[in-house]
Structure 1
Amino acid sequence: MKPTALVLSGWGPYKGVERADFEAMQRGLFLISGPTGAGKTTIFDGITFALYGEVSGSIREKDSLRSDFADASTPTYATLTFSHRGKQYRVTRNPKYDRPKLKGEGMTTELEGGELYEEEALLASGSTQVTERVTELLGLDYRQFRQISMIAQGEFQQLLVSSSKERTQIFRDIFQTRIYDTMTALLSSRVKGLNGRIDEVKHRADEITGTFRIENGDWEELKSKKNRTYRKRLGFVEQENERLGSRERELASHLRELDQTYKDRVRA
């Protein structure tokens, strides 16, 4: 989000309409500087209030933003125009405040309100609706925005002292890495499923190999190992199967020889 201009009316020390034009400073970094009381935080308050309906610091209250010097006919509001992802937006808010009646005596109350536009299209109307849409648009809520984008004077340590979990959440929202969290969760689920299937296969392999009766001490030692080396078990079984096959062929050949000897003697 890049601010383009900020307009403040009847706001704080300003009894009229004041405009801060940021568009001429879009080529690089710029510094908002000045002595204490010069109005630096007032600019931050205006930007933050326009976006979220809250001020940037913890000292000011949003219901005390109206200028004590403003005329009854001067409204109090903050308008911020900004660009975001190639699109232009304009958001206007007014705080709840009391002002003298335009006619007659006494005071009247202006209720809090707001509007959000994309170019000339109205996206949201009403303070709550505008806050929800801005949060969705920027991917940051008020607390996160204040921590990383609009750090008020005397509160710059809040991000630094935030817990690791809070910082992770903030940066995840900023850089929109939730897709990777989703992918990680999906892959973890698949890994869990595959591990379950592997365990089933291992259990079945244990059952099958447990039925083998091989008169060999090496086989018994191999089965008793806690680290189930199935490749070695398979290799041992294949060797034993080959040995038994060879022995079977030898016995079959010897049987044929005995049978032939028996037939020769009978004929004799």
Structure 2
Amino acid sequence: MKILRIGGKNLASLADEFSVDFESQPLASSGLFAISGPTGAGKSTLLDALCLALYDATPRLLTATGKTPDTGDHISSQDPRTLLRRGAAEGYAEVDFVGNDGTPYRARWNVRRARTKAAGALQPTSMSLHKLPELHPIGGTKTEVKAEIERRIGLSFGQFTRAVLLAQNEFATFLKAADDERGTLLETLTGSAIYSEISMRAHERAKLEAQALQRLLGRLADQRPLDTDARAETEAQSVAAEAALAAVDQRKAVLEAELRWHQQAARLAAGVEQARASVGGCAADLEAAAPRRARLEELEAVQEARPLDDAVTRIAAERSATQSAIEHGLREADGARAAQEQATASSTTAGEALAAAEGGAAGGCAAAGPGQSARCPYRCHAGRLAPARRHARHGGAVRCRCAGVAASEAGCGRATGKRAGGRSGVAGRPPGLGGAGAGLAALGCAVPAIRPGGGAGGQAVAVAAQCAADQC
């Protein structure tokens, strides 16, 4: 790592804010420089600020003892908060450096008193780490920040104070120490004491291994070799043991094969029993499904007759519709027959009424006497008729019922036709009156068309009576 700047505020003998920029001239171009000044000028305080910003500790406080009086209570002399200048409410130490990853960082250590007043009690310190130049924060808690700083520097506090920063009191001790003491001090400063410990442990391990070797050699010397006969007997026993072992292995292989066969037979027997149980269950299911199967066969057998069944159903429906139509037609025919019978009865009644009316009209006309002027019932176009002579002009064979003279059938027919039927020619039968209508037309009465079945008998009688009254 490389230190770029050291700054702070209200630390020990340095009041207010201070900063030492190693990137500015003349320090930037100086390979070696000294920090000098009288006692209390703040030389060690710069180094304290460097350590506080990076590790929350400083070497010269590690050997301090006792308590330091403070507002309200005493604190340990090794507490880094004792470096806050007396009478100051807050202070900080700040270091800009380049980490082992080549990235610049800014580490900051803060200390303050309660309510930011000089008389307040000291509060816990805080640390922060930011990436330059964007001041991106790294780490959250104080422990996390210290771990991040050590990871980017690559040295712990003990290693940093031995490899980078040598405390002033330890440097003086190093200069004044004897050769053996100086070697011990160098081991302490450089951290090489661990290698001495490794060397001692290796020596002890070698000593233990040498002792174990001596014990093994002693045991080997105590074991004498066998004579020829004993050796031959031992070898024979070894051969026999090996043969027995081979036989045992062979027997073991045979037994293992038999065991596997029996295990396989047991599995197959279990499978057979399971298959039998399954067959029994299937047979029961088959028997239970027999009715459904029979029903299915019946359904399949009648599938070919399904179109015929549909045709029978359709014909039955058509027959029912036709029967309903026939019954409706019969009901209409019965109604028409009844209407016809009613019309016949009405026609008969009207004929009788007409006959009666004609009889009364003839009597009235006769009362007029011959030679009197009377209106002809045939309504000849000549108007009011003379007694026999004017009728004789028509040259007809019909005699006038009123005067008893001959009248022209052609002339009177046209007159009565226009009066009765509304058209030229021989008078026709007015519709809806039957015989009564013919009789009224013969009288020359204008009879309106009467709807069949609409009470024609009564209307005919009324018309006949009115006609008789008008003509006679």
Amino acid at match of 1:42: T
Seen in structure 2, the aligned counterparts of structure 1 residues 14 and 37 have a Cα distance that, compared at 3 Å, is closer
Seen in structure 2, the aligned counterparts of structure 1 residues 212 and 89 have a Cα distance that, compared at 3 Å, is farther
**Segment of structure 1 superposing worse, 107-116 or 154-163:** 154-163
* More helix as a share of residues: 2
Q: Per-residue deviation at 1:14?
A: 4.7
Task: Give deviations 1:214-264, integer Å, cap 9, x for gaps.
Answer: xxxxxxxxxxxxxxxxxxxxxxxxxxxxxxxxxxxxxxxxxxxxxxxxxxx
Q: Distance in 2 between matches of 1:109 and 1:8?
A: 18
Q: Per-residue deviation at 1:19?
A: 1.4
Two-structure CA RMSD over aligned residues (Å): 4.8
SS at match of 2:20: strand
Corresponding residue for 1:85?
Answer: 100
Task: Give deviations 1:124-171, integer Å, cap 9, x for gaps.
Answer: 6326972896499413428x827972423x553345657865642442
Q: Distance in 1 between matches of 2:163 and 2:194?
A: 20
Amino acid at match of 1:171: T
Corresponding residue for 2:158?
Answer: 141
**Pairs within 5 Å for 1:1-268:** 1-24=1-24, 25=27, 28-58=31-61, 62-67=80-85, 75-87=90-102, 88-98=104-114, 100=116, 107=120, 109-116=122-129, 120=136, 122-123=138-139, 125-126=141-142, 130=146, 134=150, 137-141=154-158, 145=161, 149-152=165-168, 156-159=171-174, 167-172=186-191, 191=206, 195=210, 198-199=213-214, 201-208=216-223
Q: Distance in 2 between matches of 1:138 and 1:186?
A: 28
Q: Distance in 1 between matches of 2:131 and 2:211?
A: 51
Q: Per-residue deviation at 1:121?
A: 5.9
Seen in structure 2, the aligned counterparts of structure 1 residues 78 and 188 have a Cα distance that, compared at 3 Å, is same
SS at match of 1:23: coil
Return the TM-score normalized by structure 1: 0.52
How many aligned residue pairs are there?
200
Seen in structure 2, the aligned counterparts of structure 1 residues 76 and 148 have a Cα distance that, compared at 3 Å, is same
Q: Distance in 2 between matches of 1:106 and 1:69?
A: 8
Task: Give deviations 1:17-59, integer Å, cap 9, x for gaps.
Answer: 3211123546622211223333212212211222332345358
Amino acid at match of 2:19: R
Kindly indicate whether structure 1 or structure 2 has the higher relative contact order, using CA contacts under 8 Å at least 6 residues apart.
1
Q: Per-residue deviation at 1:67?
A: 4.1
Amino acid at match of 1:172: G
Corresponding residue for 1:251?
Answer: none
Q: Per-residue deviation at 1:78?
A: 0.4
Amino acid at match of 2:190: F
Instruction: Judge conservation of contact 1:6–1:79 (CA < 8 Å) in 2.
Output: yes
Task: Pick the structure with greater CA Rg.
Answer: 2
* More strand as a share of residues: 1
SS at match of 1:138: coil
Instruction: Judge conservation of contact 1:52–1:131 (CA < 8 Å) in 2.
Output: no
Seen in structure 2, the aligned counterparts of structure 1 residues 6 and 133 have a Cα distance that, compared at 3 Å, is closer
Q: Per-residue deviation at 1:63?
A: 2.8
Seen in structure 2, the aligned counterparts of structure 1 residues 146 and 112 have a Cα distance that, compared at 3 Å, is farther
Identical columns (%)? 21
Q: Per-residue deviation at 1:12?
A: 3.9
Seen in structure 2, the aligned counterparts of structure 1 residues 139 and 112 have a Cα distance that, compared at 3 Å, is closer
Task: Give deviations 1:185-229, integer Å, cap 9, x for gaps.
Answer: 68975x568646633541243124x5699xxxxxxxxxxxxxxxx
Q: Distance in 2 between matches of 1:206 and 1:17?
A: 83
SS at match of 1:18: strand
Amino acid at match of 1:20: V
SS at match of 2:50: helix
